[in-house]
Structure 1
Amino acid sequence: MRQLLARGAAAPALVCIPSFLAGSGPHQFARLARELGRERQVSALRLPGMRASDDLPATWAAAIESLAASVASELERGPVALIGYSAGGAIAHAVARRIEDDGGELAGVAMIDTYSPEEHDLNRLVLTDALGQILSRDNALTPVDDHGLVSMGGYVRIYPEREAEPITAPTLNLRATVTLSSFGEVAPVPDWQHRGPAEYIEADHFSIIEDRVAETAAHLRRWLDSLSGH
């Protein structure tokens, strides 16, 4: 479930978590790993059920438990920070909550252009908007197949089960300056998920981890250094 992308040695190690949007997966973090991998170990998780041979999780708690187990095994080797992209930021936050409930401690949780409003209808609009953009881009980095669409539907069904529970780990909210058109004026990330100010990158929802990834990595690097007291 965890794919190693880079072997840097500095702490904390980074574990990246993708969205459940069709076409998403560990491959989306390859460019970020090239930027940060000379310094830190970078790995990425595949969400349970996203492979054609895997069963979709029946509940949100089951999905988070599976992911938290993978992160916990990495925590046994040293400090870990989570990086979630898109809806993966909400997943990363939930994984952190589960790890903290089990007595673990994370160095931090970074959310890259995450949209996780508490209104479920708005979440569906955001996902529909993002999927439409993926299909129109025809980009090799976000390949969409039938299983990806089915898996996305499964996660959309269980996503409303997530609970509004804050975490103690430090958080970072990185945002693209170009917002998804369907979103409107609601705050993309609720206060209980991130209490500090957002940091902005001149990018859209996709270029923030593609063409503009060097700037995204620079923001992450400064944040990670601050966690380490550098």
Structure 2
Amino acid sequence: MVACIGRAAGAEFRGVRHVSALPLPGFGRDEPLPGSADALARVLAEAVLDAADGEPFALLGYSSGGIIAHLLARHLEDAAGAPPAGLVLVDTFRVDDEAMNVGFGQLMSSLLTMESAYGGYDAARLSAMIHYFDVLAGFDPSGPAAPTLFVQAAEPFVEPPEGTDPAEMLARPWDPAHTLRTVPGDHFTLGQDNAPMTAEAIGGWLDALG
């Protein structure tokens, strides 16, 4: 089973793998928000273990969802005693990445212009997004033991500042132990127009896990 946080080629696995999308608490109207990263991990861990029903599973997180998937993988290993077979981070920038600091405004602007693909951004969703930034502000990037695939978009989603190497604006593996796969497109198209190639890279790595 693949448990997904965020949208990135999940539809491409339909009929091939058992995929469960994990909705984050607090994005619906009148839903309670998690008070801490630990509380968020506990809620999501219960959902993952229920969906897996004793079978091996991998976690996949797209964009900032990768930070949550990473946090969840550590919780499942350390607190729940049920480690994932693998972790997939799809174009996930670390919270302290300079590229994200430079491009954050453009990223948010792009999201707001793509409501048809990502759903409407009402007051509840926008408030939840800001709350999650606060909850994850102290995120510890030290890795879980699970093998990790880092899927990198080949093109930057933001115009590099003058004199900056475009490669510096790409999301990069957080750890030398991560397996890197670079796929065509930018941060957005790898889960849309280029979704089949993104899914192929992820599926091949999952197959190799056994």
Question: One fold, TM greater than 0.5?
Answer: yes
> Secondary structure of 1:71's partner?
helix
Offset of residue 209 of structure 1: 0.7
- Residue in structure 2 matching 1:128, options 65, 86, 105: 105
Identity %: 29
Does structure 1 residue 86 correspond to structure 2 residue 60? Answer: no
1:203 and 1:211 mapped to 2: Cα distance? 8
- Residue in structure 2 matching 1:104, options 63, 69, 82: 82
Q: Would the aligned equivalents of 2:99 and 2:169 in 1 still touch at CA under 8 Å?
A: no
Indicate the residue corresponding to 2:94 in structure 1: 116
Does structure 1 residue 72 correspond to structure 2 residue 55? Answer: no
Q: Would the aligned equivalents of 2:93 and 2:100 in 1 still touch at CA under 8 Å?
A: yes
Q: String of CA shifts for 1:17-76, please: whole Å, max 9, x gaps.
A: 12xxxxxxxxx35xx343212221111011111111211111122112211121122343
Does structure 1 residue 203 correspond to structure 2 residue 164? Answer: no
Does structure 1 residue 220 correspond to structure 2 residue 196? Answer: no
Indicate the residue corresponding to 1:191 in structure 2: 174
Structure 1's 126 and 72: CA in aligned 2 closer, same or farther, altered over 3 A?
A: farther
Indicate the residue corresponding to 1:144 in structure 2: 121
1:54 and 1:225 mapped to 2: Cα distance? 37
Return 5+ residue gaps in structure 2 as ranges.
none
> Secondary structure of 1:160's partner?
coil
Opposite residue 162 of structure 1, the aligned amino acid is F
Q: Would the aligned equivalents of 1:117 and 1:189 in 2 still touch at CA under 8 Å?
A: no
Q: How many residues align?
A: 202
Question: What are the within-5 Å matches in structure 2 for residues 148-187 of structure 1?
Answer: 148-181=125-158, 185=168
Q: Would the aligned equivalents of 2:141 and 2:174 in 1 still touch at CA under 8 Å?
A: no
Return 5+ residue gaps in structure 1 as ranges.
1-12, 19-27
Q: Would you tell me which structure has more strand in proportion to its own residues? A: 1
Opposite residue 222 of structure 1, the aligned amino acid is G
1:220 and 1:95 mapped to 2: Cα distance? 19
